[in-house]
A and B are shown apart, each in its own frame.
Chain A
Amino acid sequence: DIVMTQSPDSLAVSLGERAAINCKSSQSILHGSINKNYLAWYQQKAGQPPKLLIYWSSTRESGVPDRFSGSGSGTDFTLTISSLQAEDVAVYYCQQYYTTPETFGQGTKVEIK
């Protein structure tokens, strides 16, 4: 199984400041023939199900604010919130869908400082 490791486990950021979450896969999740990384990011607010933010490592889902962006390739990826808003308080998960089982990172809790 591909192991997904996120860092940090939690972070506190001031409103309007940048937040960055890292995700590392235990093997490359880049499909060379189509040059796409099989990585998604989800946001889970307290008491709610996860919500898709980003797929193909950097494609923003429709309706997701453009302050959310994804980057990286191969084994190292980053979710960046460019200007943290109060409504962004949540746990964020990365997920690889390169192979089954589709594995998730352990989650990163984002709070307001």
Chain B
Amino acid sequence: EVQLVESGGGLAQPGGSLRLSCAASGFTFSGHWMHWVRQPPGKGLVWVSQINSDGSSITYADSVKGRFTISRDNAKNTVYLQMNSLRAEDTAVYYCSRGIGSGWFDPWGQGTLVTVSS
């Protein structure tokens, strides 16, 4: 069974940091792009970042560029999102997802909640 499990969310102060992890199983992790998508409470889906299969191509949304860093460890079947200089507007459920074909996302993890508040 293809599965993605996020962890690392929690409460952070403005200006603080968190590191999210997404552990993958049930598929050849090293063969897929991976994505982070976030969903602020009660709102819609917003793409955050993507990384290609070997980590050589990385892209960020403008809203997180310079503050967030995506990375992956293919030996551990895990993708990470290092979030620094956190702001209140970063509060959201963060999902990781596998990129399929030319770019749709399937499946999605269950999400991890990040709350930025003093």
Does A55 lie within 8 Å of B44, measured CB to CB? no
Q: Which of B96-111 contact A (CB under 8 A)?
A: 100-111
Q: Which residues of B contact A (CB under 8 A)?
A: 35, 44-47, 50, 59, 61, 95, 100-111
SS of B interface (majority): strand
Residue of B44, B61, B102 touching A101 (CB-CB under 8 A): B61
- Determine whether the beta carbon of B110 is less than 8 Å from that of A55: no
- Stretch touching chain B among A10-18, A19-27, A74-82, A92-100: A92-100
Residues of A whose CB lies within 8 Å of any CB of B are 36, 38, 40, 42, 44, 48-52, 55, 61, 93, 95, 97-98, 100-107
Chain B residues near A42 (CB, 8 Å)?
Answer: 45, 105
20 contacts between A and B (CB under 8 A): A38-B102, A40-B104, A42-B45, A42-B105, A48-B110, A49-B108, A50-B45, A50-B105, A51-B107, A52-B105, A52-B106, A61-B106, A93-B45, A100-B50, A101-B47, A102-B35, A104-B44, A104-B45, A104-B46, A105-B44
